[in-house]
Amino acid sequence: MGEYQNVKVSIEDRVGVLTINHPPVNALNTQTVKDIDAAFDEMTANPDVKVIVITGAGQLAFVAGADITELAQLKDKEEAKKVIMEGHRVFCKIEASSKPVIAAINAVALGGGMEISMACHIRIASDRARFGQPEINLGITPGWGGTQRLPRLVGKGRALEILLTGDMINAQEAYRIGLVNKVVPASQVLKQAMNLAKKLASKSALPTAAILKVVREGLEMPLAEALEAEADQFSALVESHDAAEGIKAFLEKRQPKFEDR
């Protein structure tokens, strides 16, 4: 795996772990976003990686947000738009990944930290985690997807309360409103995320990628079109090796041996 300034990467049992490591609070400055982008590309291209886990280093933060020092140096709206669109490009790449991406939210996830977690497919949070979009307290709006992914996850009313107040919510409230999938003890966050990732890695990559694609795209379609897309994905997989193996293994009452083909 490559070497990066503000990101650490490793592979264990076909699970790639991308750890954001920009002390003290893993703020998303230009270099960190660049490193996340490159490391994610590396894992996506690596055939030995079937699932990706994104987490933060240390105990203070998953990601405490964008680097405010850098924001203060933006000269005009054109420069600001460039920074925002680069973040969108990277976060949308994560969201569109054909490999499942799990956020292991070890601590505070604010602003850009909450936004990158929402771009992941599944979120597991520490019981000490806190979430928020505090941009309004700085006189600005969220810029890396907060106003769009949050209402899609938790509904318009709850999203607007979080966005308009800038207040933080705890992990239990995040679970209650559907922002995270699971809350676990702080010492167990990465372990639980890895256990889930290894379970997902044991499945065939073909239906995994198909499910990720049709769910993501289908949510933006009328129901009739989405059902047609689902039928297309199902039909395309029927002739695959793994479909034949999975069905045969079920009938023979044994575990399937998938080959991702």
Q: Is 12 a catalytic residue?
A: no
Query: Pick the catalytic residue: 12, 42, 79, 115?
Result: 115
Q: Identify which of 122, 8, 110, 134 has the alpha carbon closest to the alpha carbon of residue 60.
A: 110
Catalytic one of 42, 135, 220, 259: 135
Look at residues 120, 125, 123 and name the one whose alpha carbon lies nearest to residue 101: 120
Decide if 78 is catalytic.
no
With a CB cutoff of 8 Å and minimum separation 6, the contacts of 153 are 118, 159, 178, 179
CA distance 205 to 51: 9
CA distance 38 to 219: 28
The two structure tokens encoding residue 86? 């680069």
130 pairs with which residues across the strands?
A: 170
**Active-site residue list:** 115, 135
